[in-house]
Amino acid sequence: MPQKKKIAVLGGGPSALAAVYWLTSTQALRDRYDITVYQMGWRLGGKGASGRGAHGRILEHGLHILFGFYQNFFFMMRHAYGELRRPEGHPLRTWRHAFHPGGVGIEEEYVQGAWDPWVIVFPRNTAVPGSGGALPGLFQYLAMFVQGVVTLLFGWRIGYALTSRYYASGKDWEQGIDPPLGGAEPWTTVVLFKLIAGLMTALTWVARFINRYVPWVMDALTAVRQFIWLFLLRLARMNRRSHRFWLDLDAIFAILRGIITDGLMLPGGFKAIDDLDFRVWLLRHGLHHDTLGTTLVRTIYDAAFSYENGDPDRQRVSAGATVKVLMRWAATYKGATYFRMQAGMGDTVFTPIYQVLKDRGVKFAFFHKVEALHLSPDGKRIASISVNQQAALKKGLSEYHPLQTIKGLECWPADPLYEQIDKPDAIRGIDLESYYSGQMGKPVTLTEGVHFDEVLFGIPIGAVRYVCAELVDNDATPQWRAMIDNVKSVQTVAAQLWVKKPLDQLGWQTPQPLLSLFVEPFNTWSDMSQLIDREDWPPEVELGNISYYTGAQLGPTDPPPLGDRGFQEQMDQNALETFETFLEGRAHNPARDPAVGGITTLWPKAAEPKDPKVLDWSLLVDTKDESGKARLATQYLRSNCGPSERCTLSLPGTNQFRMKAGETGYENLVVTGDWTDNNLYLAFMEASFQAGILSARAVAGEDFPIIGEWLNG
- Give me the amino acid identity at 631: R
Q: Write out pLDDT tens, residues 399-449.
A: 999 999 999 999 999 999 999 999 999 999 999 999 888 888 999 999 999
pLDDT score of 1: 63
For residue 445, give the 3-state DSSP assignment.
strand
Cα separation, 555 vs 552, in Å, equals: 9
- Helix 14-23 to helix 351-359 angle (10° resolution) is 30
pLDDT score of 437: 87
Question: Which of 576, 575, 566, 578 shows the shortest CA–CA distance to 434?
Answer: 566
Cα separation, 678 vs 690, in Å, equals: 6
Angle at 250 between CA 247 and CA 256, to 5 degrees: 150
Separation in Å, CA 427 to CA 198, 412, 418, 570:
62, 18, 9, 21
With a cut of 60, say whether residue 594 has pLDDT above it. Answer: no
Phi, psi of 222 (to 5 degrees): -65, -40
List alpha helices for 546-595, DSSP H: 566-587
For residue 456, give the 3-state DSSP assignment.
strand
**DSSP 8-state symbol, 348:** I
| DSSP string covering 82-151 | HHHTPPTT-TT-SHHHHEEEE-EEEEEEEETTEEEEEEEEPPP-S--TTBSSSS--HHHHHHHHHHHHHH
Give strand pairing partners of 60. Answer: 50
- Report the mean per-residue pLDDT for the chain: 91
**Residue 525 and residue 513 in contact, taking contact as beta carbons nearer than 8 Å:** yes
Where, residue-wise, is CATH 3.50.50.60 in the chain? 5-63+343-487+652-711
Residue 589's pLDDT band (boundaries 50, 70, 90)?
very low
pLDDT score of 567: 92
**Residue 529 and residue 545 in contact, taking contact as beta carbons nearer than 8 Å:** yes
| DSSP string covering 204-227 | HHHHHHHHHH-HHHHHHHHHHHHH
Q: Write out pLDDT tens, residues 169-216.
A: 999 999 999 999 998 899 999 999 999 999 999 999 998 888 888 888
Q: What percentage of the chain exceeds 70 in pLDDT?
A: 96
Q: What is the 3-state secondary structure (H, E, C) of 360-373?
A: CCCEEECCEEEEEE
Give strand pairing partners of 182. Answer: 131
The predicted model gives 306-330 an average pLDDT of 94
Separation in Å, CA 246 to CA 100, 114, 150, 243, 699:
32, 20, 18, 5, 50
pLDDT score of 592: 44
Q: Write out pLDDT tens, residues 339-355.
A: 999 999 999 999 999 99
With a cut of 50, say whether residue 501 has pLDDT above it. Answer: yes
Separation in Å, CA 205 to CA 209, 271, 313, 318:
6, 18, 37, 24
What is the CATH superfamily name and number for domain 5-63+343-487+652-711? Answer: FAD/NAD(P)-binding domain (3.50.50.60)
- Give me the amino acid identity at 17: L
Q: Write out pLDDT tens, residues 559-585.
A: 998 878 789 999 999 999 999 888 876
For residue 558, give the 3-state DSSP assignment.
coil
With a cut of 90, say whether residue 224 has pLDDT above it. Answer: no
The predicted model gives 321-327 an average pLDDT of 95
Cα separation, 180 vs 611, in Å, equals: 58
The predicted model gives 230-259 an average pLDDT of 80
- Give me the amino acid identity at 159: G
Q: Helix, strand, coil: what percent of the chain each, to 5? A: 40, 20, 40
Between β-strands 382-389 and 442-447, what pairing exists: parallel, antiparallel or unpaired?
antiparallel
Helix (H) or strand (E) holding 19: helix 14-23
Q: Write out pLDDT tens, residues 37-74.
A: 999 999 999 999 999 999 999 999 999 999 999 999 99
pLDDT score of 237: 66
- Give me the amino acid identity at 507: G
Angle at 315 between CA 314 and CA 317, to 5 degrees: 135
Residue 291's pLDDT band (boundaries 50, 70, 90)?
confident
Question: Which of 467, 416, 444, 493 shows the shortest CA–CA distance to 669?
Answer: 467
**Residue 173 and residue 96 in contact, taking contact as beta carbons nearer than 8 Å:** yes
**Contact partners, residue 411, CB within 8 Å, separation at least 6:** 51, 52, 56, 343, 344, 346, 347, 351, 403, 404, 405
Name the burial class of residue 72, with classes exposed (0-12), middle (13-18) and buried (19+) by CB atoms within 10 angstroms of its CB. Answer: buried
Cα separation, 464 vs 47, in Å, equals: 16
- Give me the amino acid identity at 361: G
**DSSP 8-state symbol, 560:** P
pLDDT score of 607: 81
Between β-strands 338-341 and 66-67, what pairing exists: parallel, antiparallel or unpaired?
antiparallel
Q: What percentage of the chain exceeds 90 in pLDDT?
A: 74
Question: Which of 395, 478, 442 shows the shortest CA–CA distance to 659?
Answer: 478
